[in-house]
Structure 1
Amino acid sequence: MVTIAVNRGRPGGVRVKICGLTRPEHVRAAAEAGAAYLGFVFFPKSPRNVSIAQARDLALEAPMGVAKVALLVDATDAEIDAILAEVPLDMLQLHGKESPARVAEIRARAGLPVMKAVGVAEAADLAAIPAYEAVADQILVDAKAPKDAALPGGNGLSFDWRLIAGREWAKPWMLAGGLTPDNVAEAIRLTGAKQVDVSSGVESAPGEKDEALIRAFIAAVQPG
């Protein structure tokens, strides 16, 4: 099992993942601003979807010490194998309806750390986390997508952060869902999150990252 270093940013500070990157200049901007993780989306319905060739080029732009993450949605073994054969990755993020058993299968097959997204809209949704903690390396606590949503994430929605105030889990976890440069500090204050994930919150249009917003988001997380 590969272990990745994700200690970029201020010592003891909150780590940032910039997800849905599609352009080399945005990869460089995120890394230079202090992002600990860079996310590449492999989901055709997403405006942030990248091909394997694109993802490979983007990953090669990332400096050492920044974790490169592939976001997958109910990917088949063949799809996972094809991505891993070409793209230098450090982690897989599973954002579909993968069962705990499937998460364990993918983790073993890939030989990489796995982060499993769990959608939250109400307190009852948190009950799914322990089963995934048992098989994943990290948990992404995200806003639950509406039933009619085309995307499992990246919808710009947040959930009631008070639902997880003071919560502690056995595995590292990351907060996602509707975060922006304007609200991320408050989200961290309410939840105690040590890691945050943003995609649409640093875009000028769906799939169009904004370098100024990326810098503003990371500055809000890591002030000073």
Structure 2
Amino acid sequence: MVTIAVNRGRPGGTRVKICGLSRPSHVADAVAAGAAYVGFVFFPKSPRNVSAEVARDLALEVPFGVAKVGLFVDPSDAFLDEVLALVPLDLVQLHGHESPERVAEVRARAGLPVMKAVGVSTAEDLPHLEAYEAVADQILVDAKAPAGAALPGGNGLPFDWQLIAGRSWKRPWMLAGGLTPENVAEAVRLTGATQVDVSSGVESLPGEKDAALIHAFVAAAQG
């Protein structure tokens, strides 16, 4: 599997991904707070969606050592090619209904590491994590979107963290779903996560990142 260098955060501490960045100030705040990853959303239904041109300009502001992640939802080959031709990404995040076979196809086509998001709401969802870790470089353990939800993630809803307490996987994994500055430390304690992902939990409005919340979240995750 391909790996990427991520050297941000307190040594031995939790690495943080701030997702859904759409403005230069968002990127600057995430970097200043100590985020290890910054994420750009390429999904038109999301209030955090950005064009490839905007993401390119934002990505060029990201310093070395902070991984640039592109979030895609069931992307076509043409759309994936269009974005990757413009945006210097380090990691592709797949957040749709991509099968393990499609994950492998995207990984080969992009020539980049791939992180697959897997929704969890009950113990019956856990075997899916094992199926995807065979083909993905990282796994994002996220809260399953409610039935009928317009967005596959970023809904601000947690899942029962006890479901994965004490579990581990062969691949690096990241915890997501309803994390906030107030609950992230407890989530890390219960799950043993060494990486966490946040989007709506550091926003004042959908798509509008809040600098104070970003700093508070990173401090709580790493504290």
TM-score range, shorter chain: over 0.9
In the TM superposition, structure 1's runs of 4+ consecutive aligned residues that sit over 2 Å from their partners are none
- Structure 1 partner of 2:202: 202
Provide, for residues 39-76 of structure 1, a one-character-per-residue CA deviation record: whole Å limited to 9, x for no partner.
Answer: 00000000000001110011011111100000000000
- Structure 2 partner of 1:159: 159
* 1:122-137 equivalence runs, <5 A: 122-137=122-137
- Structure 1 partner of 2:52: 52
Tell me the number of residue pairs that the alignment of Structure 1 and Structure 2 aligns.
223
- Structure 2 partner of 1:93: 93
Where structure 2 has 5 or more consecutive residues not aligned to the other structure, the ranges are: none
For residues 2 and 184 of structure 1, what CA distance do their matches in structure 2 show? 28
Shift of 1:2: 5.5
Provide, for residues 151-192 of structure 1, a one-character-per-residue CA deviation record: whole Å limited to 9, x for no partner.
Answer: 000000000000000001010000000000000000000000
Classify the secondary structure of the residue corresponding to 1:92.
strand
Shift of 1:222: 1.6
- Structure 1 partner of 2:66: 66
For residues 185 and 2 of structure 2, what CA distance do their matches in structure 1 show? 31
Classify the secondary structure of the residue corresponding to 2:60.
helix
- Structure 2 partner of 1:179: 179
For residues 6 and 220 of structure 2, what CA distance do their matches in structure 1 show? 19
Amino acid at match of 1:20: G
Provide, for residues 117-162 of structure 1, a one-character-per-residue CA deviation record: whole Å limited to 9, x for no partner.
Answer: 0000001101111111010000000000011100000000000000
Amino acid at match of 2:130: P
- Structure 2 partner of 1:146: 146
Classify the secondary structure of the residue corresponding to 1:171.
coil
- Structure 1 partner of 2:21: 21
Provide, for residues 180-221 of structure 1, a one-character-per-residue CA deviation record: whole Å limited to 9, x for no partner.
Answer: 000000000000000000000000010000011000000101
- TM-score (normalised: structure 2): 0.99
- Structure 2 partner of 1:36: 36
For residues 127 and 2 of structure 1, what CA distance do their matches in structure 2 show? 23
1:103/1:135 contact within 8 Å kept: yes
1:83 aligns with 2:77: no
Provide, for residues 80-129 of structure 1, a one-character-per-residue CA deviation record: whole Å limited to 9, x for no partner.
Answer: 00001000000000000000000000000000000000000001101111
Shift of 1:32: 1.3
- Structure 2 partner of 1:219: 219
For residues 3 and 150 of structure 1, what CA distance do their matches in structure 2 show? 32
Amino acid at match of 1:140: L
Amino acid at match of 1:125: D
* Identity score, percent: 78
- TM-score (normalised: structure 1): 0.98
1:120/1:144 contact within 8 Å kept: yes
